[in-house]
Amino acid sequence: MTAAAERGGAAAGLVQTRGLLARVGCYALLLLVAVLALYPLYLVIANSLKSNTAVALNPSGFPARPTLSSYSQLVAAGQLRAFVNSLIVASTTTVGAVFISALAGYAFTKLRFPGRAIIFAGLIATIMVPIQTGIPGFYVEFAKLHWLNTYQVQIVPFLAPVFGLFMVRQYLLSVPDEIVEAARMDGAGEWSIYWRIIVPILRPVLAALGVLEFLMMWNSFVWPQVMADTSNVAPLQVTLPTLTDRTLGIVPLYGEIMAGSVLAIVPLIIVFLRYQRAFVSGVTYGNT
Amino acid sequence: MSTIAGTRKRSSLINGVHSRARTGRQQGRPRRATSLKGYTFIAPFLLLFIFFSAFPDVYTLILSFQHYAGYGSATPAGLQNYDALLHYPVFWTELENTLEYWVLHAIILIPVAFILALVVRSRSVRGKSAWRAIIFLPQVMSIVAVTLAFQVMFASPYGAINHLFGLHVAWLTDFAITKWVVVALLVWQGLGFWFVVFLSGLTSIDPAVEEAAMIDGAGVVRRAISIVAPLMKNVFLFAVVIDAITSMALYTQPTVLAATQGVLDPSVAPLSSLVVVNLQSSSFGESAAAGWLLFLLTIIVSIAVFGSFRLFGRSGAGRRRVVIGGRRAAVSR
C-alpha cells in the first residue's frame, strides 16, 4: 500500500466518522424534539385516567390505578354539551365557509365584472386586522339584535374567511381559462360550469381550506368567550378552563380538565389522520 | 398586480375571437350578463364580510370616539378614550408583554423550525414521513387543551415538572418566570407549522446548487447559512411577517395559562386583553380604542418587519455573491 493510498484511506475514515457523528447528532435532536412534542399529549391522556386528587398527588407518572372517574364527572358536569356545541359550530362554519369562499374565489378569478380588482384588493388588505378590533363594535351592535349567547353569533361572522378566498383564487389562477371558455362555448351556464367543472378541479384546495377552517374554528377562544359564554351554547374551549371545585370554585379539577382536553383533541386528531395530505398542503398554502 | 396580468391573459376565446372585429374599447369590457353573474357569485361572501367584519371594525372606530356604558345613549368623547388608555400604566406593561412574547418566541421558533427542516431533509435521516408527522402533531392539538396541559406541567407546587425533577419553582405565580412558560408554549405550538412551511420551501431549491458547494468543501453549517438560507429569503419573510401579525393578536395562551379565577394579572397579560377587560366592565369606548390601537400596532410592526427584511435581505444577497465568487476561485485553482 502506498503512502498516498494510506492517507486517502485515513481521510475516508475521517469522513465516515464525521458522517456517523452527524447522523447521531441528527437523530439525537429529532428524538429530543419528538419527546418534547409528545410529552404534553402523554400528560393529557395519562392524567385524564386519574381522579382529580390523584393528579394533584402524582401529576407526571402513569396512573397507578387507571380510572374513568374523571370522564364520568366531566359528563356529570354537563361538559358533553360543550363538546357538542364545539362540533356544531366548527363543522357548520367549515361547510359554509368552504362553499362561500369557493363561489367567490371562482368569480374573482374567472368571471369579469367592473370593480373586481379593487374589491379583491380591499378584501386582502383587511387580512391584517386582528380579531379583537371588531369585537367591541360587534358586541354593542349585535347585543341589540339579541345575537349574544347564540350559535349564529359563533358561526355567521366566520362564513366569509378572506384567507379562504385567497387560497381558492391562487389555485384557480393556475387553471387555464380555456377550460371555462370551452364549456361556455358549449352553452353551459355559469352555475353548471361552477358545479361540474370548477368544484371538481378545486377539490384538493377545498379540502385544505376545510381542514384549516375547522382547525381555526375549533381553536377559537376570545370570540366565544366574549360573545357566547353561557353553558347552553359555549364551546368546550371556553368551559374547560373554568372547571373548578363545586364548593369554593378556586381549585382547578385537573382530572376532569384533562379528560375534557382529550375530548378537545380527539376530533382534530381524527381530521388530521383522515386528511393528512390536505392538512399539510393547507398549512403550506400561503407559501406557494 | 397579478390581477392586471390575469386580466390581460384572459383575452379569452370568446372575447378574443368575436370581439377582434369590434372596437378595442369594447374588447376590454365584460358583457353585462357575465358581470351580473360575477356579482351574484361574490354576493354571499361580500355581504357577509361587510356586515360581520367590515362594519363591526368601522363601528368600533366610531365607538372609540364615544363614551358608552351599554345603556342610554353614547356621548362624544373626542380622543379621551385613547388618552385614558395611553395614560394607563397597564397599557404600557401589556404592550411590552405582547412585544416580548412576540420577539422572544420568534427568535427561537423560526431558526429552530428551519434547522429541523434541514435535518429532516438531510440524507442521513431515515423515516422522514414519521418524523414529519411527529413534529407536526402539536399543530393539530387544540390550543386550549395544550395550554391546560402546560398548566398541569408547570403548576406549583405540585406540577408535573416540579414533581418530575424535585423542584420548587413557582412557574405560574412568579410572573418573571411565567412569561418564559408562555414563550415555551408559543414555540412548542408554532414549531410544527413553520417546520412544514420550511420543509416545503426547501423542496423548491435545486439540489445541484448545494452539491456544487459541497464539492467545494463547504460544510453543512456553511451551506445552510450562506446558500440555503438566502435562497429561502421569501419563506423567512413570510414566516416572520405572518408570525408577527398573529403575535399581536395573542390572547388565548397567556389567558388560559396564567389566569386565576378568570382574572389575568396585567404583568403577564397581552395588550389584546385590554379589549376584553374593558368590554367586560362595560367601558365600550375604551375597549374600542384598545381594539384600534391593537390594529395600529399590527400595522407598525409589519412595516417594521418588512423594512428590516429589506436591509437584512440586501446584506444576505451580498454574502451569497461572495460565496459564489469564492467557489469560482476554488474551481479555477
Residue B42: list chain A partners with CB under 8 A. 103-104, 107-108, 119
pLDDT at position A185 over 70: yes
Residue A12's pLDDT is what? 62
pLDDT at position A4 over 70: no
Residue B61's pLDDT is what? 97
Across the interface, whether the CB atoms of A37 and B302 are under 8 A apart is answered no
Enter the C-alpha cell of residue B288.
374600542
- H helix or E strand, kind and range, residue B66: strand B66-67
- B104 and B205 part of one domain: yes
pLDDT band at residue B31 using 50, 70 and 90 as cut-offs:
low
pLDDT at position A44 over 90: yes
* Beta pairing partners, B66: B76
Rounded CA separation A256/A52 (Å): 7
Mean pLDDT value across residues B46-50:
97
* Beta pairing partners, A244: A252
Burial of A89 (0-12, 13-18, 19+ CB in 10 A): buried
Enter the C-alpha cell of residue B156.
406549583
**Cβ–Cβ under 8 Å, residues B82 and B289:** yes
pLDDT band at residue B314 using 50, 70 and 90 as cut-offs:
low
- B65 and B158 part of one domain: no
pLDDT at position B15 over 80: no
Q: What residues 248-287 of chain B have any CB closer than 8 A to a CB of chain A?
A: 248-249, 251-252, 255-256, 259-262, 272, 275-276, 278-280, 284, 287
- B41 and B126 part of one domain: no
Mean pLDDT value across residues A39-53:
94
* Beta pairing partners, B67: B75
pLDDT top residue among B43 and B35:
B43
- B235 and B150 part of one domain: yes
Rounded CA separation B23/A248 (Å): 81
Burial A236-248 (b: 16+ CB within 10 A, else e): bbbbbbbbbeeee
Q: CATH no. for residue B263?
A: 1.10.3720.10
- B251 and B310 part of one domain: yes
- B318 and B234 part of one domain: yes
> Could you say which of B46, B64, B82 is where a domain stops?
B82
Residue B86's pLDDT is what? 97
Average pLDDT of chain B, as a whole number: 84
Q: Give the range among A12-16, B101-105, B140-144 with minimum mean pLDDT.
A: A12-16
Across the interface, whether the CB atoms of A241 and B61 are under 8 A apart is answered no
Residue A269: list chain B partners with CB under 8 A. 140-141
Domain of residue B306: give its range: 85-332
pLDDT top residue among A122 and B22:
A122
Distance of CA A30 to the CA centre of its chain: 24
Residue B157's pLDDT is what? 79
Q: What residues 55-114 of chain A have any CB closer than 8 A to a CB of chain B?
A: 55-60, 100-101, 103-104, 106-109, 111-114
pLDDT tens-place string over residues A201-214: 999 899 989 998 99
- B90 and B52 part of one domain: no
Highest mean pLDDT among B13-27, B183-197, B319-333: B183-197
Q: What is the DSSP letter of B31?
A: P
Residue B324's pLDDT is what? 38
Interface check B188 vs A, CB under 8 A: yes
Residue B236: list chain A partners with CB under 8 A. none
* Positive or negative: CA dihedral A12, A15, A19, A25: positive
- B107 and B184 part of one domain: yes
Enter the C-alpha cell of residue B106.
420568534
- B328 and B200 part of one domain: yes
pLDDT at position A220 over 60: yes
**Can you tell me whether residue B178 is helix, strand or coil?**
helix
- B185 and B154 part of one domain: yes
pLDDT at position B5 over 80: no
Residue A131: list chain B partners with CB under 8 A. 249
Mean pLDDT value across residues A1-25:
67
Query: What ipTM score was computed for the predicted complex, to two decimals?
Result: 0.90
The domain total for chain B is 2
> Could you say which of B82, B101, B122 is where a domain stops?
B82
Share of chain B above pLDDT 70, in %: 84
Residue A285's pLDDT is what? 61
Share of chain A above pLDDT 70, in %: 92
- B108 and B27 part of one domain: no
pLDDT tens-place string over residues B239-250: 999 999 999 999
Q: Which of A34, A88, A216, A254 is nearest to B143 (CA)?
A: A216
Q: Which residues are CB-contacts of B125 (< 8 A; sequence separation ≥ 6)?
A: A23, A26, A27, A30, B119, B131
Q: CB-hemisphere CA count at 13 Å for B126?
A: 1
Q: Which residues are CB-contacts of B90 (< 8 A; sequence separation ≥ 6)?
A: B266, B269, B274
Q: What is the DSSP letter of B75?
A: E
pLDDT tens-place string over residues B82-138: 999 999 999 999 999 999 999 999 999 999 999 999 999 888 888 988 999 899 999
Q: What is the DSSP letter of B144?
A: H
Residue of A nearest to B290 (CA): A133
Q: Could you write out the three-class secondary structure of B315-327? A: HHHHHHHHHHHHH
**pTM (predicted TM-score):** 0.87
* Positive or negative: CA dihedral B215, B218, B221, B226: negative
- B110 and B75 part of one domain: no
Residue B43's pLDDT is what? 96
> Could you say which of B25, B51, B82 is where a domain stops?
B82
Across the interface, whether the CB atoms of A221 and B136 are under 8 A apart is answered no
User: What is the least distance, in Å, from the CA of A13 to any CA of chain B?
Assistant: 17
